[in-house]
A and B are shown apart, each in its own frame.
Chain A
Amino acid sequence: MRGQFLLIPLASLAIVAPAHATVYLTVEQAQQLLFPGAEFVADNRTITPEQEREIERASGVSVRNRTLNLWRVSTGGWFIVDQVIGRHDNIPYAIGLDADGAVRGIEILEYRESYGGQIREPLWRAQFIGKRNGAPLALKRDIQNISGATLSCRHIADGVKRLLATHAFVIAER
């Protein structure tokens, strides 16, 4: 009998479930959702230190990766794949911008967090449509929060804000 309690920790270890990342969309699927029927040409860019400073000054968000995964869209506009920090892991997402740099839509490609999967809801993502560089993109202002998913909501909003500034200082200037 002695020591029986100490078996409980071992029992809990046994029920740890393996984690599986949930991949919702491939890049190609996201491209067709945001720009149906269009063709895409990769046009990756490297953000210069000067552009990085401009983006961070304009958006208030750090540029953590200077490689911009960018595609030019045959019907006009741009398609970007980016990622932001989640509670545990990174959250890969895609954004479509029209030729003027306004948001056409965003898609969550993968989500590996314990909570907060509601950011995939179309109604929440629709809040970003039409946003341009300079928009607040702040929770409790022009972006509604989802209870229980606050960190994911805020970081996606920050990521979009950073990409809109990136469009202004890296894409539109060329």
Chain B
Amino acid sequence: MTRLDRPTSKRRGSPRALALGAALMAFAPWSQARADESPFAYTYLTEVLPQGAIELEQWVTWKHKKPQEKFDLLEGRTEIEYGFTDRFLGAFYLNYEHLKVEPDGLGAPNGPEDTTKFTGVNAEFIYQVWSPFTDPFGFALYFEPAIGDGERALEFKLLFQKNFLEDRLIFATNFIFELEWEHEDEEDIWEHESAFEINIGLSYRVAPGWFVGAELLNENSYEGHFAEAETSTWYVGPAVHFASERWWATLGFYKQLPWAGNHTDEPELTSHGYVVDAERTRLRFRLGILL
């Protein structure tokens, strides 16, 4: 999981919340990558493409529902992946989005918005250290630089995978560290933001080609580069995956859990256990095509 998977909190009333939202939104155009096919919509496996293999991936993520506004964000990502070796994968992708917001009530934090735009480009590199098929568990290192309009980001991930029941049951977890720099035009400075995320997924092969599972996502935002903790958001939901010889697809649906943490002195950032400025539901569809 990555910045794109973070709560889309671009639009808030208070200046601090606005800054936080802008920072989180700035992450949004970029990440959320994956090394090759996965039964999960967010969690990466440690498997990578074989040497010389090329894969086209298309992602669509729909983020929906925030308090006091009609919020819909449709994010797209088009990616090309290449296996440089049997252990090293590189990828390049484009990000774009459509955002529609309608205020709902007098206390609505934002005005109306209806925009479609290109949001940035990313590269990603994954090196498989241990294979889940020949070592006690799979382990891979992930690195992703990103660049957008007035934004720069670096993302590091530690990917783990353990298969059970002769590879019919897959457990995977990712530890994600993100550093971001965002240029503030008014003050002409680069603001620092960061995040730490943990994704956990469990999926079972229910029939040839079909996996059914679930994911738990925990996303923690920080002011500065891990200088001051802000909020912690939780999502959970099912993921269904189908794969054939030449293509695969994964669909995941997630709801925010009322387990939010608020480490700031601004209680309004959370309400009834939810992070206010994070969407309540997410739907992600991913399609991979072997070229």
Q: Which residues of A contact B (CB under 8 A)?
A: 2-6, 8-9, 12-13, 15-22, 61-62, 85, 87-90, 112-116, 139-140, 145, 147-151, 154-155, 158
Verify A15–B289 contact, CB threshold 8 A. Answer: yes
User: Could you tell me the distance between the alpha carbons of A111 and B159 in the complex, rounded to whole angstroms?
Assistant: 29
Q: Which residues of B contact A21 (CB under 8 A)?
A: 245
- Say how far A53's CB is from chain B's closest CB, in angstroms: 17
User: Could you tell me the distance between the alpha carbons of A107 and B167 in the complex, rounded to whole angstroms?
Assistant: 23
Residues 116-158 of chain B: 1 if any A CB is under 8 Å from the residue's CB, otherwise 0? Answer: 1110000000000001011000000000000000000000000
Q: Which residues of B contact A5 (CB under 8 A)?
A: 76, 96-98, 116-118
Verify A19–B247 contact, CB threshold 8 A. Answer: yes
Of chain B, the residue at the smallest CB distance from A113 is B245
Verify B247–A151 contact, CB threshold 8 A. Answer: no
Contact of B101 with A by CB under 8 A: no
* B78, B118, B168, B244 — most chain A CB neighbours (10 Å): B244
Query: 18 A-B residue contacts at CB 8 Å?
Result: A5-B116, A5-B118, A8-B96, A9-B78, A19-B247, A21-B245, A62-B165, A62-B166, A85-B166, A88-B244, A89-B208, A112-B245, A114-B37, A116-B50, A139-B133, A139-B134, A145-B134, A158-B166
A-B contact count (CB 8 A): 105
Verify B76–A6 contact, CB threshold 8 A. Answer: yes
Residues 261-291 of chain B: 1 if any A CB is under 8 Å from the residue's CB, otherwise 0? Answer: 0000000000000000000000000010110
Task: Out of A16, A62, A140, A154, name the residue touching B246 (CB < 8 Å).
Answer: A16
- Say how far B237's CB is from chain A's closest CB, in angstroms: 21
Q: Which residues of A contact B49 (CB under 8 A)?
A: 115
- Say how far A12's CB is from chain B's closest CB, in angstroms: 4
Q: Which residues of B contact A (CB under 8 A)?
A: 37, 49-51, 53, 56, 58, 60, 74, 76, 78, 83, 86, 96-98, 116-118, 131, 133-134, 165-168, 205, 208-209, 243-248, 287, 289-290
Q: What is the interface of chain A mostly: helix, strand, loop, or mixed? A: loop
Task: Out of A9, A116, A140, name the residue touching B60 (CB < 8 Å).
Answer: A9
User: Could you tell me the distance between the alpha carbons of A88 and B38 in the complex, rounded to whole angstroms?
Assistant: 11
Q: Which residues of B contact A114 (CB under 8 A)?
A: 37, 53, 243, 245-246, 290
User: Could you tell me the distance between the alpha carbons of A63 and B280 in the complex, rounded to whole angstroms?
Assistant: 44
Task: Out of B53, B83, B246, B289, name the residue touching A12 (CB < 8 Å).
Answer: B289
Q: Which residues of A contact B134 (CB under 8 A)?
A: 139-140, 145, 150, 154
Q: Which residues of A contact B248 (CB under 8 A)?
A: 88
Q: Which residues of B contact A2 (CB under 8 A)?
A: 116
Verify A16–B289 contact, CB threshold 8 A. Answer: yes
Query: Given the interface contacts A3-B116, A112-B245, A148-B51, does A88 sit within 8 Å of B289 by beta carbon?
Result: no
Verify A154–B76 contact, CB threshold 8 A. Answer: no
